[in-house]
Amino acid sequence: MNSNKGTTFKKTNIFTKIFILLFSVLFIFVGYEIFFPVPLVNNNYSLVISKGDSVKSIINNLYEHKIIRDKYMLRILLRISHKDTKIYPGLYFLKQSISLLKLFYKITSGNPDQIAIVIVPGWNIIQLRAYVDGLQKIQHLTKSLTEEQLRQNLKITFDNLEGAFYPTTYFMAPNQTDLEFYETAYRFMEKKLEALYLNRNKFSHYKNRYELLIMASLIQKETNDKQDMIYVSTVFNNRINNGMKLQDDPAVFYGLHNKSEISHKDFLIDTKYNTYLHAGFPVSPICIPSENALIAASNPENNPKLLYFIADGKGKTKFSETFEQHKKNIIKFLKKNRKKTSRSGKIFKD
């Protein structure tokens, strides 16, 4: 009886020692991963975290650039501290060596070295200003300004602010002003637009760079597909060259203040953006165009017969050269979407 107790005690003692050993190894490993600094290549690294970046993409980026040793330890720290949704976008300057714990606090403290401000293609000026007005850690000098006052402050040569700011990620030091941000974004758009206008191909038909910007905004609202953008540009430039109306639905929607429900009667309402009633370009852009849309606007293809298109409802666009083929595409679209109540599909007319 005593022998069995002794054997059991020895087994328990062994298991305890193994557990203590494993725990010690785990403790040392975790301590090493969390507290021991990782030497940085060239003693510095600029970590960019953009709005909308996933935790996975951020961690993969850090791992690929050898800022962290292990992908999972940082994810665990973020998860158990409930900070995996509280990583603040911005630019972080990492210098010399940094431990995982210090990196964790740095990216979740809400104090980046520079603030990331993202302009999204397709936004209109109302959406952009609402976004900028809601930003923290910058000085707001423009909230009380009208669009015209802001345009005058920035000395913008365009007729209004729509489409005037280039879409990308900008980095600003904390406490810089929103006026500085707008000025930077406008100057960037001016340079991009000027370069594209000067290098546009002979199949584009613009009297000035502002018309190119308007065209790019129409293209942006028609499709997000890079290749389809070029085809849409080709159609619109062909129609301009042939003296045909653009008949662009998004422009009509914009002229009606982007109301959620559009009926066929709405297309008879006379606004400066009704490209079914008025020939030529609408009076201004209808959104912020992406770089792809700007490039497409400046480089339509040499295909003078391409005159019609309709969205297929699946992210692609059906193009045609004849009105008869275009009508067939419309019928197919209407049959597939008979039960849907949405905005009007594109219907060109001769």
53-92 residue pLDDT tens: 898 999 898 888 888 888 888 888 888 888 888 888 888 8
Query: 7-11, 15-19, 160-164, 276-280 — which is least confidently predicted?
Result: 7-11
pLDDT band at 26 (very low <50, low <70, confident <90, very high): low
- Which position has the higher pLDDT, 110 or 30? 110
The per-residue pLDDT for range 251-272, each reduced to its tens digit, is 999 999 987 778 889 889 999 9
pLDDT of residue 244: 95
CATH architecture of 8-108: 2-Layer Sandwich (3.30)
**What does the pLDDT average to over 319-345?**
70
Residue 320 scores a pLDDT above 50? yes
- Which position has the higher pLDDT, 99 or 162? 162
pLDDT of residue 12: 65
Is residue 83 within 8 A of residue 105, CB to CB? The reply is no
Q: Which two tokens stand for residue 8?
A: 């059991």
For 317, residues 6+ apart whose C-beta sits below 8 A from its C-beta are 222, 223, 225, 228, 231, 232, 309, 310, 311
CA 196 centroid distance within chain = 21
Backbone angles phi, psi at 14, to 5 degrees: -65, -45
**CB half-sphere exposure, 68, CA atoms < 13 A:** 21
The per-residue pLDDT for range 29-46, each reduced to its tens digit, is 555 566 556 777 777 888
Domain ranges of the chain: 8-108, 118-196, 201-336
> Is the pTM here over 0.85, yes or no?
no
Nearest to 284 by CA among 125, 150, 120: 125
CA 272 centroid distance within chain = 28
Q: Which two tokens stand for residue 269?
A: 């309402």
pLDDT of residue 119: 96
Nearest to 319 by CA among 206, 238, 261: 238
pLDDT of residue 28: 60
> Which of 55-64, 146-155, 308-317, 326-335 has the highest average model confidence (pLDDT)?
146-155
- Which position has the higher pLDDT, 153 or 7? 153
Around Cβ 172, how many Cβ atoms within 10 Å? 20
> Which of 1-10, 162-171, 323-332 has the highest average model confidence (pLDDT)?
162-171
pLDDT of residue 308: 92
Which residue carries 């996975």 as its tokens? Answer: 56
Residue 233 scores a pLDDT above 60? yes
- Which position has the higher pLDDT, 292 or 38? 292
pLDDT of residue 349: 43
Give the residues across from 49 on adjacent strands: 90
Which residue carries 């810089």 as its tokens? Answer: 176
- Tell me what the pLDDT averaged over the chain comes to: 86
User: What single DSSP character describes residue 89?
Assistant: P
pLDDT band at 322 (very low <50, low <70, confident <90, very high): confident
pLDDT of residue 126: 96
